């Protein structure tokens, strides 16, 4: 499955990194504690978080993620949008909770990919 398919299927709003919408989604991860995400998020995952600051881009690039979804109707900082665009990393927004989107993604077959 590609990030683009999730954008279209769930009406996610692309905020940055639209050049990366054809990245393959290999699993999912939910978390807001950056140290936990750095240690456990699988490569190729779509990351659901409420964080919107610049450090999320660094974590996503480090873990080679497919995309970041900022949930709960939150918006990323301007610096975050700029850096994500430079990295061609899709940053998407979702107006509802991470819990709701995670459930929908799981039902669609996006599971928790094993960590390396």
For residue 45, the SS3 value is: strand
Token pair, residue 12, equals 């996610």
Spatial distance between the Cα atoms of 35 and 75, rounded to a whole number of angstroms: 21
| pLDDT tens digits for range 18-61 | 999 999 999 999 999 999 999 999 999 999 999 999 999 999 99
Q: Quick check: 69 pLDDT over 60? A: yes
Residues of the domain holding 102: 3-108
Give domain status of residue 116, yes or no: no
Q: What is the pTM of this model?
A: 0.94
Q: How confident is the model at residue 92 (pLDDT cuts 50, 70, 90)?
A: very high
81: confidence class by pLDDT, cuts 50, 70, 90: very high
Across 92-103, b (16+ Cβ under 10 Å) vs e yields: bbbeeebeebbe
What pLDDT does 110 receive?
Answer: 87
8 Å CB contact between 66 and 44: yes
Q: What is the pLDDT of residue 112?
A: 73
**Residue 21 belongs to some domain of the structure:** yes
Residue 85 falls within a domain, yes or no? yes
Please give the Cα distance from 18 to 37 (Å, whole number): 23
- Total of domains in the chain: 1
Helices 3-10 and 98-108 cross at an angle (nearest 10°) of 120
Quick one: tokens of 88?
């061609």
Q: What is the CATH number of the domain that holds 25?
A: 3.40.1390.20
For residue 113, tell me if it sits in a domain.
no
Rounded to the nearest integer, the mean pLDDT of the chain is 95
- How far is the C-alpha of 82 from the C-alpha of 16, rounded, in Å? 7
Sign, Cα dihedral of 47, 95, 84, 54 = negative
Please say if the pLDDT value at position 5 is more than 60.
yes
Tokens of 114: 């094993």
């Amino acid at each position: 499955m590609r990030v683009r398919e999730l954008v279209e299927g769930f009406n996610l709003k692309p905020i940055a990194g639209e050049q990366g919408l054809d990245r393959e989604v290999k699993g999912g991860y939910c978390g807001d504690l950056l140290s936990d995400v750095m240690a456990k998020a699988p490569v190729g995952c779509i990351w659901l978080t409420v964080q919107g600051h610049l450090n999320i881009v660094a974590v996503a690039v480090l873990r080679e993620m497919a995309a970041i979804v900022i949930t709960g109707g939150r918006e990323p900082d301007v610096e975050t949008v700029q850096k994500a665009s430079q990295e061609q990393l899709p940053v998407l927004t979702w107006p509802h909770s991470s819990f709701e989107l995670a459930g929908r993604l799981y039902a669609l077959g996006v599971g928790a990919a094993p960590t390396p």
